[in-house]
Amino acid sequence: MMKQAIALPSFFCLVTSLASPCLHAQKGDRDGHEMKPPPSEWKIPPAPVVSPAAAPATFALEKGFSVELVASEPIINDPVALAFDGNGRIWVAEMLGYMPDIDGKKEETSYGQISVLEDTDGDGKVDKHTVFLEKYLLPRAVALVDADKTLLFADNLKLYEAEILTDEKGNISAGKVSVVDEKFAEGGNPEHKSNGLLYAIDNWIYNAASDQRYRRIKGAWVKEKTEKRGQWGIAQDNYGRLFTNTNSNLISAEETAPGLTIRNSNFPFRSVVNSKIEDQRVYPSRINPGVNRGYMEGTLTKDGYLYTPTAASGMAVYRGDQFPEEFLNSLFITEPSGNLVKRAIFTENSNGFREITSAYEGSEFLTSTDERSRMVHAYNAPDGTLYLVDFYRGILQHAVYMTSYLRAQVVERGLDTPIGLGRIWRVKHRDGKTPRKAPTMETESSIALVGHLSDPNGWWRDTAQRLLVERGGEEAVPALERVITDDANELAVIHSVWALEGLGQLRPTSLRVALSSSYPRAVAEAVRAAESLVSSEWSDEVFALLTPFENTENLHLRRQLAGSLGLFGERAIPILATLVQKDAKDLLTGDLAVSGLSGHELTFFKALPPVHNLRAPLVEALVRRNVREELTELASLL
C-alpha cells in the first residue's frame, strides 16, 4: 500500500481528502494508481476554522477527563514541538514555513521561530509570549541544556545551541548561537528529517529519524552512532526504554537499552527487540476522505473513516501524577490525519517483552470532528497533566508526497488557508488532584534537586537529574549516595546512579551498594551505568562486582549483564558462556552477549558446548570479520 508515502511521518501528516477528479499531476502520484473520488453517498462536512474557544466542543474525550486551552493563535503559530525548562516555562518550535501554500513553493523562503511561553499568574494559561529566535527554516525540535543556560534546537538542516540571556526583569532573549551539528537533519524532505532531542535517563540525547545521539562531555558536544529509530517523536519510560513510531506504525517500544544491538558490526543480530501494537485499527469520530492515499483499498473503511494510521506522530508515556493511578505508564499516541489521540497499555510477558494493546475497543482517548485539529505531539507536564500540541491546519501532507486525489480534497474544502494557527492543550482528570504549581528548579540547590529524584511525577525526576548533571560539581554526591544506600524508592535509586554517572562520580563503592539493591531493574541499570568505568582505573574492581550475577534468575538483569560484560574483554567470556547456556532458547541474551564481544568471537565460540544456537551466527560473524588466522583456527574446530 506504499504506506510510507501516505502520511507525514511524524507530526506533519496526511492531509485532507478525496473528492473530485484530479486537477493535475502531483509529486505524490504513482503510475497505475486510479484516484477515484470518494463515493457520492459519503456525507463529507465542510472544514471551517473552529475558534480556540469553540474547539473543546469538537472533542470527544475519555470519561472523566477535560481539555483546557494553554495557548493559541495569535500567540503561537504552527507549533510542532515543545520543552519545559526547570521553572516550567514552555519553549515552542513553531514551523511557520511548512507548506505555506498548496504547492509548497514558498517553503524555502518562509521562516519559523522559537518562542517562550509563560504563565505568570499560575492559572494554567499563557499570558506572556517572547519570540526567542526567528528566521530559521522549519524548526522542528527544542531542548533545554547546560542547566537551562542554553537552548538546543534543530531546523531543517542543522542542530544549534543558543545562549539564553535573562535581564533583571526576567525578560528572556537569545545570545550567541553556535552550530552543534551541520548535518543533523541533512537530506530528504521535512517528513523524514531528524527530530526529538530527548534527554534520556542515561544522559544521552536521542532522536527520531536518526541513528545519532549527542552528549556534552567536558564542555564539548560528542556525537555517537546508535540504532536508527522512528520518524516523528520519541519518548522514554521510567527505565529509559525508548519509544518511536512511523507514520503507518503506531509504536515501536524498545525492549533493550539503546546502543546494545549495534556494538558488533559483524554480528547478524537475530532477535526482534521492539514490541508493537498488533491491532493497528484507529477509530476517528470524523469521516477522513482527506488522507493522501484515501483512494486505495484498505486506507479507509467503507464509510470513509481512517482504518489504520497513516500519520502516527509524537507520543508520551504518561508518568505524571494528576491522572488516576490506572493511567500511569499508559502510552498516548497522536494521529493527526485521523484527528485523534490513542491510548495504549502494556502487559509484560514471561519472555520479558511487553504486549501493547489499545486501551479501548471501538473508540479512542480523544477524537475531534474538526478536520483541522492535528495533534502532533504529547508531553508530560510539570503540573502532572498531559500536554498536546495541535498543529491546527488543513494541509499536513508535504508537497513531495501530495497526490492529485488529496489536492482535490484540499481545494474542495479550502484546507490550504488560513495558515499560521496552532494550539497547545492541557488534559487533566476531573477527579485528580489540583495541578501542581510551576517548579523553581533553576534556583534550587543541587541537594534540593536530589530530593526530586523520588518525585511521583517523571518530569520532575528527569529534569532534576538533567540539571544535576549539567551543573556538575560534587555538592550533590553524598546525597545521591544516600539515596542509593537507603534503597527506599526504585526510581530514585536509578536516577541517582545515572546522576552519579553523568557527573563522572560513579565509583566502585557506590556501584557496589547499587548492585545490592532490592530492585532488580535498579540493579540492571547499575550494570549498564558501570559500562562507563570499563576503561577506568577501577575496571578490575568493577568487573569483580559484576561477576556474582552470572546465575541471576531475573531475565532483565541477565540480558543487561550479557549486553555489558563483553566490553570488559575476554575475561568476561566464561561468565557470558554461563549466561547463554542458562536458557539457550533465549536468543536475545545470546545476541546481546555477542554484540558486546566484538573482536573476541572466536574465543567465545570455543567456550560454547558443541551444540548451541550461537555457533552458526558466530561463524558468520567471523567470516564477515575476515581475519585469516581466526578463520584458519575456526576451520580446525568445525
Question: pLDDT at position 147, please?
Answer: 98
| Element housing 561 (H / E) | helix 555-565
Name the H helices within 566-614.
Answer: 573-582, 587-595, 601-607
- Judge whether residue 431 has pLDDT over 50: yes
Q: What is the pLDDT of residues 535-589, one digit of tens each?
A: 999 999 999 999 999 989 999 999 999 999 999 999 999 999 999 988 888 999 9
Q: Which amino acid is at 501?
A: E
Q: What is the pLDDT of residues 127-138, one digit of tens each?
A: 999 999 999 999
Question: pLDDT at position 10, please?
Answer: 36
| Mean pLDDT computed over 61-76 | 97
Question: pLDDT at position 330, please?
Answer: 98
Q: What is the pLDDT of residues 313-342, one digit of tens each?
A: 999 999 999 999 999 999 999 999 999 999
Quickly state the pLDDT bin for 252 (edges 50, 70, 90).
very high
Residue 329 near residue 319 (C-beta atoms within 8 A): yes
Question: pLDDT at position 24, please?
Answer: 55
Q: What is the pLDDT of residues 16-30, one digit of tens each?
A: 333 334 445 788 888
Quickly state the pLDDT bin for 11 (edges 50, 70, 90).
very low
Non-local (6+) Cβ contacts of 423 within 8 A are 52, 55, 69, 70, 71, 72, 73, 76, 79, 390, 392
pTM of the entire predicted model: 0.94
| Mean pLDDT computed over 447-456 | 98
Question: pLDDT at position 189, please?
Answer: 85
Question: pLDDT at position 358, please?
Answer: 98
Quickly state the pLDDT bin for 191 (edges 50, 70, 90).
confident
Work out the number of other CB atoms within 10 angstroms of the CB of residue 369.
17
Average pLDDT value for the chain:
93
Rounded-to-integer distance, Cα 509 and Cα 107, Å: 56
Percent of the residues in the chain that have a pLDDT greater than 70, as a whole number? 96
Rounded-to-integer distance, Cα 162 and Cα 152, Å: 7
Quickly state the pLDDT bin for 12 (edges 50, 70, 90).
very low
Q: What is the pLDDT of residues 175-186, one digit of tens each?
A: 999 999 999 998
Q: What is the pLDDT of residues 487-545, one digit of tens each?
A: 999 999 999 999 999 999 999 999 999 999 999 999 999 999 999 999 999 999 999 99
Question: pLDDT at position 108, please?
Answer: 86
Q: What is the pLDDT of residues 483-494, one digit of tens each?
A: 999 999 999 999
Query: How would you classify the pairing of strands 366-368 and 340-348?
Result: antiparallel
Question: pLDDT at position 373, please?
Answer: 98
Question: pLDDT at position 28, please?
Answer: 85
| Mean pLDDT computed over 32-45 | 92
Quickly state the pLDDT bin for 13 (edges 50, 70, 90).
very low
Cα distances (Å, whole numbers) of residue 253 to 9, 184, 275, 599 = 17, 24, 5, 30
Question: pLDDT at position 502, please?
Answer: 98
The grid coordinates of residue 613 equal 544456537
